């Protein structure tokens, strides 16, 4: 949420980086060679018969760089002051080099170079942990590296939270009629809540959407935990139409009460002039109390996705699930009761489940809300 303003710039930067990377790879691609010409061109490294090295260490470093670039592992056969012999560690791979002292010279000469490596890129991770490569970091080290890279691109989490007031101000300034506010708490002015609803979304819901709102929440898993609240409508194409979102420090009855209060202020008198509002949710205790307080005339039912997943996970019986769906869309109470009887014959546990999930809050035959709402 805090990085939305930078997302477009980030996309362009990533695209440019991809183009540069593709160009670099094309320029420095490895072309397989036979033992007849015995030469490999790799970026700034060149390996060919007659190539000179000042010492064994330089030879070793050069071969190590080539092995890293070509994604294979070298096995040293022999190494001393006068010669260096290495081959690919993969059994059956013909790749092999032989470096020895040059006649009447302190230098080392590449005397023999054989074949192409047969190792594929799938061994990159294994190679990365080899002592030659020098990567011995733990998972947490890699994670910290990723965090630093993301911070360099988008800024830190802490910087993002500090920018929220300015971000809300820009929304109100550039989108007149939009609502954007951030609430802090405590002496340290720490983040508590953020609410955003754009003018276009408000206008679209009031003038072009059916009187239906769906409430949902998602728990965040970043460095700083929290919960996203969302209120969405359904447009003429039967697609979700986001109306408002909020980020809160924790899901609680108090925060749900605040969120529904903001929704009520957002819609204002328009909720009194539109047909009876239908609200669908998981009907947690906090949701139920908040809806009853701020939308007392609304019909508050269960989200059918939630109710159906709960039924499926509870009974784990495909036949029961099929009958359940028939019961959901039954148009008359008699047809609904008939389907319930069929389910009870299969499992008596259906009755306590129905007692917990009142059919008047989700079945078409009983639901008092919008007839088009229950399908969602």
Query: Quick one: tokens of 196?
Result: 């955003």
Structure confidence at residue 115 (pLDDT): 58
H, E, C per residue of 92-122 = CCCCEEEEEECCCCCCEEEEEEECCCCCCHH
Spatial separation of the C-alpha atoms in residues 195 and 55, rounded to whole Å: 66
First-to-last alpha carbon distance for the chain, in angstroms, is 26
The whole-model pTM stands at 0.62
Instruction: Confirm if 148 and 4 have CB atoms less than 8 A apart.
Output: no
Instruction: Confirm if 242 and 255 have CB atoms less than 8 A apart.
Output: no
pLDDT at 14 over 60: no
| Residues belonging to the chain | 376
pLDDT at 67 over 90: no
For the chain, where are the alpha helices, taking DSSP H only? 4-27, 56-70, 124-128, 139-154, 157-174, 199-208, 253-267, 270-273, 285-294, 304-315, 318-328, 333-346, 350-356
Work out the pLDDT band at 32, boundaries 50, 70, 90: very low
Instruction: Confirm if 52 and 108 have CB atoms less than 8 A apart.
Output: yes
CB atoms within 10 A of CB 100: 14
Structure confidence at residue 321 (pLDDT): 94
Instruction: Confirm if 74 and 132 have CB atoms less than 8 A apart.
Output: yes
Instruction: Confirm if 10 and 155 have CB atoms less than 8 A apart.
Output: no
Query: Quick one: tokens of 302?
Result: 């269960």
Most confident region among 129-138, 214-223, 262-271 by mean pLDDT: 214-223
Helical (H) or strand (E) element with 299? strand 299-302
Span 134-190, pLDDT tens digits: 555 567 777 888 888 988 998 888 999 999 999 999 999 999 999 999 999 888 888
Instruction: Confirm if 84 and 78 have CB atoms less than 8 A apart.
Output: yes
pLDDT at 71 over 80: no
Spatial separation of the C-alpha atoms in residues 56 and 82, rounded to whole Å: 8
Q: Which has the minimum average pLDDT: 45-59, 126-140, 258-272? A: 126-140
Work out the pLDDT band at 8, boundaries 50, 70, 90: very low
Q: Could you give the percent of the chain with pLDDT greater than 90?
A: 46
pLDDT at 204 over 80: yes
Span 330-364, pLDDT tens digits: 999 999 999 999 999 999 999 999 999 999 999 99
Q: What is the mean pLDDT of the chain?
A: 80
Q: Which of 232, 236, 179, 240 is nearest to 207 (CA)?
A: 236
Q: State how far Cα 49 lies from the chain centre.
A: 50
> What sign does the dihedral 250-251-255-260 (CA atoms) show?
positive
Structure confidence at residue 131 (pLDDT): 61
Span 92-135, pLDDT tens digits: 788 788 888 877 666 666 666 665 554 444 455 555 555 655 55
Work out the pLDDT band at 22, boundaries 50, 70, 90: very low
Span 296-323, pLDDT tens digits: 999 999 999 999 999 999 999 999 999 9
């Amino acid at each position: 949420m805090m990085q939305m303003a930078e997302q477009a710039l980030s996309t362009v930067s990533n695209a440019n980086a991809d183009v540069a990377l593709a160009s670099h790879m094309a320029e420095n691609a490895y072309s397989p060679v036979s033992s007849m010409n015995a030469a490999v061109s790799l970026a700034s490294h060149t390996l060919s018969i007659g190539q000179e090295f000042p010492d064994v260490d330089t030879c070793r470093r050069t071969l190590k760089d080539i092995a890293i670039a070509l994604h294979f592992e070298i096995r040293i056969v022999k190494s001393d002051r006068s010669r260096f012999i290495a081959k690919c560690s993969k059994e059956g791979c013909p790749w092999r080099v032989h470096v020895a002292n040059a006649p009447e010279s302190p230098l080392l000469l590449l005397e023999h170079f054989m074949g192409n490596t047969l190792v594929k890129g799938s061994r990159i991770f294994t190679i990365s942990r080899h002592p030659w490569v020098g990567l011995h970091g733990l998972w947490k080290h890699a994670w910290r590296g990723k965090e630093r890279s993301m911070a360099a691109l988008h800024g830190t989490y802490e910087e993002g939270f500090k920018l929220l007031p300015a971000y809300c101000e820009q929304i109100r300034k550039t989108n007149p009629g939009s609502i954007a506010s951030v609430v802090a708490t405590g002496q340290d002015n720490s983040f508590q809540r953020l609410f955003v609803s754009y003018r276009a979304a408000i206008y679209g819901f009031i003038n072009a959407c059916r009187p239906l709102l769906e409430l949902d929440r998602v728990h965040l898993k970043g460095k700083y935990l929290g919960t996203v609240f969302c209120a969405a409508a359904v447009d003429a194409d039967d697609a979700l139409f986001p109306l408002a979102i909020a980020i809160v420090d924790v899901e609680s009855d108090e925060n749900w009460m605040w969120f529904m209060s903001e929704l009520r202020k957002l819609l204002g008198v328009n909720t009194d002039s539109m047909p009876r509002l239908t609200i669908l949710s998981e009907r947690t205790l906090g949701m139920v109390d908040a809806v009853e307080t701020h939308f007392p005339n609304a019909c508050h039912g269960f989200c059918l996705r939630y109710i159906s997943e709960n039924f499926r996970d509870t009974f784990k019986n495909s036949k029961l699930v099929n009958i359940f769906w028939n019961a959901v869309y039954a148009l008359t109470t008699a047809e609904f009761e008939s389907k319930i009887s069929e389910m009870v014959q299969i499992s008596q546990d259906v009755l306590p489940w129905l007692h917990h999930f009142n059919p008047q809050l989700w079945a078409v035959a009983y639901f008092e809300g919008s007839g088009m709402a229950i399908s969602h």
